[in-house]
Amino acid sequence: MNTDNKKFYITTAIAYTSRKPHIGNTYDPVLADTIARYKRMMGYDVFFLTGSDEHGQKIEECAKAQGLEPKEYVDRVAAQIKEIWDCMNTSYDRFIRTTDSDHQEAVQKIFKKLYEQGDIYKSEYVGKYCVPCESFFTPSQLVDGKCPDCGREVTDAKEEAYFLRLSKYQDRLMEYFESNPDFIKPDSRRAEMINNFLKPGLQDLCVSRTSFKWGIPVEFDPGHVIYVWIDALSNYITGVGYNPDGSSDLYKKYWPADLHVIGKDIVRFHTIYWPIILMALGEPLPKQVLGHPWLLVGEDKMSKSKGNVIYADDLARHFGVDAVRYYLLTEIPFAQDGSITYESMINKYNADLANTLGNLVNRSIAMANKYFEGRVSRPAERTDLDSDLISTAENCVKEYIRLMDIYHTADAADYVIQLAHRCNKYIDETAPWVLAKDPEASDRLNAVLYNLIESIRIIGILFKPFMPATSDKILAQINVPEGLTSIDSVISGFGTAERFSVGTPEPLFARIDAEKKLAEIEAELGAPAIEAKEEKDDKKEAENVAFLPQIGIDEFAKVDLRVALIEDCEPIKKSKKLLKLTVNDGSGTPRTVCSGIAPWYSPEDLKGKSVILVSNLKPAVLCGVESQGMILAAEDGDDVKVIFVDGIAPGSKIR
């Protein structure tokens, strides 16, 4: 591959230093680290920035509650954040703190530059304020009188402040969105920004505060501290040496960033406020912002008040760092929230890591040692079974690269673990222990074991960004020849290694006794490790289905069922269940339909699909959106399945 002079600059959202980060917060740096490791593996010159956000009213209040000075408080929490990032084996190049002197100096100069050129002006703020989110809102933006982002109570706020002229750059930002359709991923986040913020019109942004002191002072007006959106967001450029008076060679080399990795709840700040700040500074915009989903505990957000917070270091102590990384990277889909419980962690560990991967590596190496003293060589012939395994391996490499290039890590990892599954099936199909009993089958046995070890080599290399330590152990156990641990060596095809001389098998992941481990976790952490569940019969009995009263054919004929093509889909901000569908019903006029299927489908799952529409249903307003129909779906226990009818023209009547 030709990656000469190719650089890749990746950042995470900087962690807020109000308290120790939980496992959901930890997903951000682990995902970014996996992408960074993949890019390095592909030959890129990578710079990976992460860090901590250390200013603001909430932190000032937290410090006061503990009888500490704010700096002393953030020093403690920033150290905890760094320890957890290090515990999770994240390979960052710089851990920036917003209390770092170079950052503070640059932020003051950024603020002054924007003020002097008229992009920041002084006025007064009157409105509502959410302390946890550090966000101002107008009364019309509130949901049931509470913060639209976190749902908490807001307070009245009135103070002198400086404002950033967002409105001045609105049209330019919209043009950028239109000319760079991949700027925000997933696509649903882009639609949300356009429909919820840009189209209604941007209001100028408050960028200084006078009601608290813990922040970077405005250089020319010391009564003001620079507010979070200029302070925290600027870390992405100050972290590589940006300064309005003259930037470093590092900045000139790496900016613009190739990827900002952030949580979906802060997409607005990174795709509206941040680009406008950069436009005002005359600097290039980042190439892409990835607003990843959340990690829930069961079906709930993590919250100390709910007592359901899980920490990465606790998980690592019980399951190992790589197992935790693997879970995070495979259980959070690209566009949908993931879920974690101690039980699901154990189940995933045993199924994928102990039974599938660990067992494959251990028994393949053991058989190579037992039957050939550890030495196997590339066979001259292939059977149909061999060709099927090899085809699976080569397709795995191809799909892995395609998916990793678009940051679909969960899907990429699934291809790798499926290759391991295929290898275990190949062992059952070829039965090496039977071949070993036939002296004339020695060549065939060698071919089987070579194919297994070569597949394990591929698996070890592909899993390196996900589980670095495990990958190293796999490759060390099979003694991969020098030069054959690179991604190039698997891209070039199956059978690159002429021979293997494997070492002694050592267990990668010991199977966990779920009952004992859950009891151990509960005893140590003092919280139930098993969620309370309704008792259910082991035997599924036939349910008595309650049908509605019968109707005549004339009544049924009044329902107009039509095929409709979903052309666009987006979440409805005020609802966790509703999706807003824009459908083509064949009439030539787009129709809006609200459907309560958000828990089961993401917008990406639905766009381009054809569904059955109840087209003559009386319109109804749901969460402020007029719904002009209903789509058909089937309820199957706790699951809901939309009825798709792809390939039929929009407007076709269902008879």
486 and 352 in a common domain = yes
Count other Cβ atoms within 10 Å, centred on residue 458: 22
425 and 355 in a common domain = yes
Whether the Cβ atoms of residue 582 and residue 569 lie closer than 8 Å to each other: yes
Q: Say if residue 256 is preceded by a cis peptide, omega within 30 of 0.
A: yes
558 and 493 in a common domain = no
Tokens of 409: 């890590």
> What 3-state class would DSSP assign to 240?
coil
Whether the Cβ atoms of residue 320 and residue 312 lie closer than 8 Å to each other: no
Which residues partner with 635 through β-bridges? 640
- The conformation of residue 483, written as its DSSP 8-state character, comes to T
- Name the domain count of the chain: 2
Residue 602 belongs to a domain = yes
Q: What span, in angstroms and rounded, lies between the C-alpha atoms of 359 and 489? A: 25
pLDDT of residue 546: 46
Residue 633 belongs to a domain = yes
Whether the Cβ atoms of residue 58 and residue 18 lie closer than 8 Å to each other: yes
Q: What span, in angstroms and rounded, lies between the C-alpha atoms of 645 and 419? A: 32
497 and 362 in a common domain = yes
Residue 586 belongs to a domain = yes
Write down the residue that tokens 């060698």 correspond to. 446
pLDDT of residue 568: 87
350 and 485 in a common domain = yes
> What 3-state class would DSSP assign to 558?
coil
> In which domain, by residue range, is 632 found?
553-642
Give me the average pLDDT of each 10-residue run along the chain (655 residues): 74 94 93 98 97 93 94 96 97 98 97 97 85 74 81 84 95 95 91 90 92 93 93 97 95 97 93 97 97 82 72 94 96 85 94 96 96 95 95 97 96 96 96 95 97 97 98 96 90 92 94 93 72 39 46 73 90 79 87 86 84 88 81 75 85 85
> What 3-state class would DSSP assign to 594?
strand
560 and 479 in a common domain = no
pLDDT of residue 289: 97
Residue 630 belongs to a domain = yes
CATH number at residue 394: 1.10.730.10
Whether the Cβ atoms of residue 88 and residue 26 lie closer than 8 Å to each other: yes
562 and 495 in a common domain = no
478 and 354 in a common domain = yes
pLDDT of residue 307: 66
Residue 224 belongs to a domain = no
491 and 373 in a common domain = yes
pLDDT of residue 598: 84
Residue 494 belongs to a domain = yes
Estimate to the nearest angstrom the gap between the alpha carbon of 640 and the chain centroid. Answer: 24
Which residues partner with 592 through β-bridges? 582
> What 3-state class would DSSP assign to 567?
strand
| Residue-level length of the chain | 655
pLDDT of residue 306: 66
468 and 379 in a common domain = yes
Residue 312 belongs to a domain = no
Question: pTM for the full model?
Answer: 0.78
> What 3-state class would DSSP assign to 138?
coil
CATH number at residue 610: 2.40.50.140
Count other Cβ atoms within 10 Å, centred on residue 481: 15
581 and 458 in a common domain = no
Cα atoms in the 13 Å half-sphere on the side-chain side of 278: 25
DSSP 270-333: IIIIHHHHHHHHT-PPPS-EEEE--EEETTB---TTTT----HHHHHHHH-HHHHHHHHHHHS-
Last residue of a domain, one of 481, 501, 521: 501
pLDDT of residue 435: 96
Count other Cβ atoms within 10 Å, centred on residue 215: 24
Distances (CA, A) of 42 to 6, 459, 467, 645: 10, 16, 16, 41
Residue 481 belongs to a domain = yes
448 and 348 in a common domain = yes
Whether the Cβ atoms of residue 13 and residue 263 lie closer than 8 Å to each other: yes
